[in-house]
Amino acid sequence: MTRFAVAVTILIVLTVGFAFAQDSTPKVQVFGGYSVVDADRGGLTGSKVDAALGQPVNTFGISSIPRGWNAEAQYNVDGWVGLVADFSGRSGKPITSESAIPVTGIPNETAYTILVGPVLSYRTKSKLTPFAHALFGYDRTRLGSSTIVGPSSTVASTSSSYTDFAMALGGGIDYKISQRFALRLGQVDYFHTSVNLNTLYDGAFGTAVIEGLATRQRNIRFSTGIVVRF
């Protein structure tokens, strides 16, 4: 993972070095903005969490909408083909309180992803530039440590993390505001992660406390923000 991050950093530095060679197509463009993920929780349900943590029925629910950020550095080989390094982070509580007596101390989930891959852009005289990309890399998901105080008992969880393959297949549309700036109207990706949720939750709550969860997730990611063109 560390070697991969170093390689991506070197790639970005090299691509920025070519930025002076400008033409009608920007050689380098950088995107930054907001993202939201429709997360696949892999079979995790409120009733499973109720039973695993020894709480009354309907104590817990599940949230599937973590929010975060998305950033990209893109080097355009020509008007059509480019190479993208994509970085993203998201956070939220996968488990929610549904009890009439509020549950406190629910652990937070954070995740960071590094992806690289090719991008195809369709550039015309119009201000709109649609694009499609296929990105591949790694995702690291972490559950923080906490002390959950429920209606019937208190449960301690420890920090747990998992790192594995991830990919994003999708695209979007940029709207040119000026020679230097564009607005990413929307980017939508089929966002695949390979988190073994059994291992992740075993590390947090103990072995086999929560069982039968997925080892791969089919998520959808939406991003929007500003593109700076060099």
Mean pLDDT of 37-64: 96
- Compute the distance between CA of residue 196 and CA of residue 193 in angstroms, rounded to an integer: 9
pLDDT digits (tens, 9 = 90+) for 143-189: 999 999 999 999 999 999 999 999 999 999 999 999 999 999 999 99
For residue 204, which of 93, 77, 64 has the smallest C-alpha distance? 93
Split at pLDDT 50, 70, 90, the class of 24 is: confident
Domains (ranges, CATH) in the chain?
2-229 (2.40.160.20)
pLDDT digits (tens, 9 = 90+) for 187-203: 999 999 999 999 999 99
Q: Which DSSP state fits 144?
A: P
Placement of tokens 């999708």 in the chain = 170
Q: Tell me: pLDDT of 6 over 50.
A: no
Instruction: Report yes or no: 220 and 38 within 8 Å, Cβ to Cβ.
Output: yes
Lowest mean pLDDT among 11-15, 44-48, 112-116, 172-176: 11-15
- Compute the distance between CA of residue 69 and CA of residue 88 in angstroms, rounded to an integer: 6
Q: Tell me: pLDDT of 22 over 60.
A: no
Q: Tell me: pLDDT of 136 over 70.
A: yes
